[in-house]
Structure 1
Amino acid sequence: MQQTWRWFGPKDLVSIDDVVQAGATGIVSALHHVPTGAVWTPEAIAQRQAEVGQLSDGSPSGIGWDVVESLPVSEDIKKQQGDWRAHIDAYRTSLRHLADAGIEVICYNFMPVLDWTRTDLAWRLRSGATCMRFDLIDFAVFDLHVLQRPGAAEDYDDALKDAAARRLAELSDAEKAALAKNVVFGLPGSAESFTLDDVRAHLAQYAAMTEDTLRGHLVDFLSEVIPTCEELGLRMCCHPDDPPFPLLGLPRVMSTEAHYTKLMQAVDRPANGITLCSGSLGARPDNDLPGMMERLGDRVHFLHLRNVTREGDGIRGSFYEAEHLGGDTDMVALVEAALREEARRRAAGRADWSIPFRPDHGQDILDDLGRRAQPGYPSIGRLKGLAELRGIIAALEPRIARETA
């Protein structure tokens, strides 16, 4: 399993020097400053590769840009409106430029409007560490009373609406504004950011869209780009919805094993694959992560290993981002399933037998608390997670190698 690290470019407060010292052997990055729907040029790709390849003193870093996360899919493509066909053409051109640069794994998502949703980006734990959290009551406050989405009341039962009303009464105007900012938070250096009016406008355009329609648009998109990937030797891998349940009245098509199975069957090509994110999928109690790795593993091209603690038993509920070996996902069983999949691929002679993974997210601990890097992406918290995952791999690999020899 290749140990990778997400890096947001020169603006990232966690440097390439830090990544090398953490022991990661590859970088996961993207050109966040390029507008969605525009072509990633060879020059821009080469510049990011040069940035990854150099330490602060000018010496070689010894690591490269191995996984793209993400080459974004435009809202026009998701809705099949406006410039969606031109955006698909641009997407294929970007794929060619990435292949020319030697990058083979392309992670993307198909979440409408918001890529991921949290209500608190620095929730304090009893240990003094902070983490990201999704609080369903706070989200209901945002949806019902801050965004004031038409029809929102139909999505919540009376008990949750009453709890949201009580929570609203406790919040100051500044706290309401902070909640809204957290929910629509973007990535550093991103070319796009949404206002509440932007969110309302996008939601209105999705109002009549069903899950089947959105899935159909995803299948149409992949039917256009996967042949290009096969021609170029690329592997596409769809990231799950985060959280993996409907929000804001939007359809969800990548939240469960059944969703992934439908997509893999609809575009049944090896280049059409999965980003198995244990944190996103683990927020639902009915998602069996080790089992998904066993059953869908031959199409898993990229792994995000993190953990969440669910604060209830419902499909839709509150959760916070736990330590990598804490939370509700059996991380040892998941890593073992991934290592066994690698052994099967190696025995079959697959060139892509090694599955890249990254220690996804992490709690802010120690000096992270003062550094205040991108929420969810601290230096020391991820280093701790990578070390724990590395320990699992070191313990399991020899036994699995003996059993599969």
Structure 2
Amino acid sequence: MKQTWRWFGPHDTVSVDDMLQAGVQGVVTALHHVPTGEVWSRDEIVRRQALVARMKDGSPSGLAWDVVESLPVSEDIKKQSGQWRTHVANYQTSLRNLARCGIEVVCYNFMPVLDWTRTDLGWRLPHGGTCMRFDFADFAAFDIHILRRRGAADSFPPELVELAGQRYALMDEARKRELATNVVFGLPGAADHMTLEDVRVHLEEYRSIDADRLSRHFHDFLEQVAPVAQEVGIRMCCHPDDPPYPLLGLPRIVSTEADYTRLMRAVDLSANGITLCAGSLGARADNDLPGMMRRLGDRVHFLHLRNVHRETDALFGSFHEAEHLGGNTDMVALLAEVVREERRRRAEGRSDCSIPFRPDHGQDILDDLKRKAQPGYPAIGRLRGLAELRGIVTALEHAGVELAA
């Protein structure tokens, strides 16, 4: 398993030097400054590769850009409106340019309007550190009372609507602004940021798009880009919805094992693969992460290893980011399935037998609390997570360890 680390580029407060000292073996990054829908040029790709390859003093880092996260899919493509055909063509060109530069793994998602959604970006934990959290009642308060989406109250159980009203009544103006900002935070590091009015406009345009129609649009997109990826040797891997259940009345189509199975069958090419995000999928109690890895592992091209603590037994509800070996997902069982899959690939002679993973998110601890890195991407919190995961992987891969059948 190749140990990677997400980097948001030269403005990231966690530097290439920091990554190197954390012991990572590869870098996950993207051209966040390029507007969604535009072409990633070879010059821009090479420029980012050069930044990854050097430490602050100019000496070689020994690191390379291994995984793209993310090459974003535009809202026009998802809605099949506006410039969507041009954006698909640009996506194909970007894939070809990435391949020419030696990059083989591209992570993306098909979440409409919002990327991952949280109500708190720095929720205080009992040990004094902070983490990201999704509070269902606060989200309902945002949807009903701040965004004021048409029909929002009908999306929640009556008791949650009542609780959301009570929460909203207690919020001062600063908390209302903070909550709105957190919910529409958007793709980490991206050039595009939405206002509440932008969200309202998108939601109106999605009123005629249900899950079946969005799935058709997704399959149309894949039918055009996956063959290009297959041709140039790129493995595309779709990230699941986060959280993996409907929000704002929008359809969610990559939330369960059944969703991924349909996705793989829609365009049955090895280039059409999965980003198995343990944190996103783990927010649903009915997602069996070790089982998903065992059954879908052939098409898993990238792993996000993090854990969440579900705060309710309900299928959909509040959760917060836990330690990497805490939370509700059995990370040891999941990693054991990954090791089995890698062994199977080696036996078959596959060139992709080492699946890249990164310690996804992390709690802000120690000096992270002063550094104020990209929300969810602290230095020390992720270093702790990587160390824990590395220890489990090392034990599972040891010659003296025999994995149970």
| TM-score (norm: length of structure 2) | 0.98
- Where does residue 179 of structure 2 map in the other structure? 179
**1:30 corresponds to which residue?**
30
Q: Cα deviation per residue 1:128-168 (whole Å; 9 max; x = unaligned)?
A: 01000000000000000000000101101210011011101
* Number of the residue aligned with 2:141: 141
- SS of 2:54's equivalent in the other structure is coil
Q: Is this contact kept in 2: 1:108–1:236, CA < 8 A?
A: yes
Instruction: Name the aligned partner's letter for residue 268 of structure 1.
Output: D
Identity of matched residues, %: 67
Find the counterpart in structure 2 of residue 255 from structure 1. Answer: 255
Q: Which amino acid aligns with 2:234?
A: L
- For 2:186 and 2:35, locate their aligned partners in 1 and report how far apart those are by CA, in whole Å: 13
Match of 2:3, SS state, is: strand
Provide the residue aligned with 2:378 in structure 1.
Answer: 378
- Counterpart of 1:132 in 2: which secondary structure? strand
- The amino acid that maps onto 1:213 is R
Equivalent pairs counted in the alignment come to 404
Q: Match for residue 105 of structure 1? A: 105
Give the 3-state SS of the residue equivalent to 1:291 in structure 2: helix
- The answer to whether 1:203 aligns with 2:182 is no
CA contact (8 A) 1:343 1:401 kept: no
Give 1:190 shift. Answer: 2.3
Stretch moving more, 186-195 or 343-352: 186-195
- Asked if 1:121 corresponds to 2:121, the answer is yes
Q: Are the equivalent residues in 2 in contact too, given 1:339–1:400 (CA < 8 A)?
A: no
In the TM superposition, 1:36-55 aligns within 5 A as 36-55=36-55
5+ residue gaps, structure 1, are none
Q: Letter of the aligned partner of 1:317 in structure 2?
A: G
Q: After the TM superposition, which segments of 4 or more aligned residues of structure 1 sit over 3 Å from their partners?
A: 186-189, 399-404
Deviation track 1:248-293 (CA, whole Å, cap 9, x = no partner) reads 0000000000000011111111110000000000000000000000
Name the structure 1 match of 2:192. 192
Q: How far apart, in 1, do the equivalents of 2:51 and 2:231 lie?
A: 28
Task: Give 1:234 shift.
Answer: 0.6
Number of the residue aligned with 2:158:
158
CA contact under 8 A between 1:32 and 1:187: conserved in structure 2? no
- Partners of 1:11 and 1:189 within 8 A in 2: no
When residues 401 and 227 of structure 1 are mapped into structure 2, their CA distance, relative to the original with a 3 A threshold, is farther
Distance in 1 separating the partners of 2:32 and 2:214: 24
Q: Are 1:12 and 1:188, in contact at CA under 8 Å, matched by a contact in 2?
A: no
CA distance in 1, matches of 2:315, 2:157: 14
Secondary structure at the counterpart of residue 33 of structure 1: coil
Any stretches of 5+ residues in structure 2 without a counterpart?
Answer: none
Equivalent residue letter for 1:33: H
How many angstroms apart in 1 are the aligned matches of 2:9 and 2:258?
35
Cα drift, residue 398 of structure 1: 2.0
- Superposition deviation, residue 189 in structure 1: 4.8
**1:364, CA displacement in angstroms?**
0.3
Contact 1:79 1:214 in 2 (8 A): yes
Deviation at 1:401, TM superposition (A): 7.4
Query: Quick check: 1:296 aligned with 2:296?
Result: yes
Shift of 1:371: 0.4
Alpha-carbon spacing, 1:130–1:403, altered in 2? closer, same or farther (3 Å): closer
Distance 2:3 2:310 in 1: 27
SS of the equivalent of 2:398 reads helix
Distance 1:93 1:182, change over 3 A: same
Alpha carbons 2:308, 2:328 under 8 Å: kept: yes
Q: Shift of residue 403 of structure 1? A: 6.4
CA distance in 1, matches of 2:238, 2:98: 17
The letter of the residue matching 2:366 is: L
Letter in 2 for 1:193: H
User: TM-score, normalised on structure 1?
Assistant: 0.98
Quick check: 1:80 aligned with 2:58? no
Report deviation, 1:230. 1.0
CA-to-aligned-CA distance 1:196-226 (integer Å, 9 cap, x gap): 0000000000012111111111111000011
Cα separation, partners in 2 of 1:204 and 1:400, compared to 1, 3 Å? farther
Q: Give per-residue Cα distances to partners, 1:363-393, cap 9 Å, x unaligned.
A: 0000000001001000000000000000001
Indicate if the aligned counterparts of 2:306 and 2:359 stay in contact, CA closer than 8 A. yes
Q: How far apart in 2 are the matches of 1:291 and 1:373?
A: 34
Find the aligned partners of 2:255 and 2:98 in 1 and give their Cα distance: 28
Per the alignment, residue 169 of structure 1 pairs with: 169
Match of 1:243 in 2: 243
3-state SS in 2 of match to 1:161: helix
| Residue 10 (structure 1) aligns with | 10
Note if contact 2:5-2:358 (Cα within 8 Å) is conserved in structure 1. yes
Shift of residue 187, structure 1, vs aligned partner: 4.8
**Matches of 2:393 and 2:6, distance apart in 1:** 20
Which residue does 1:214 correspond to in 2?
Answer: 214
RMSD, matched Cα: 1.1
Residue number in structure 2 paired with 1:337: 337
Return the offset for 1:399: 4.9
User: Partners in 2 of 1:185 and 1:233 — Cα distance?
Assistant: 33
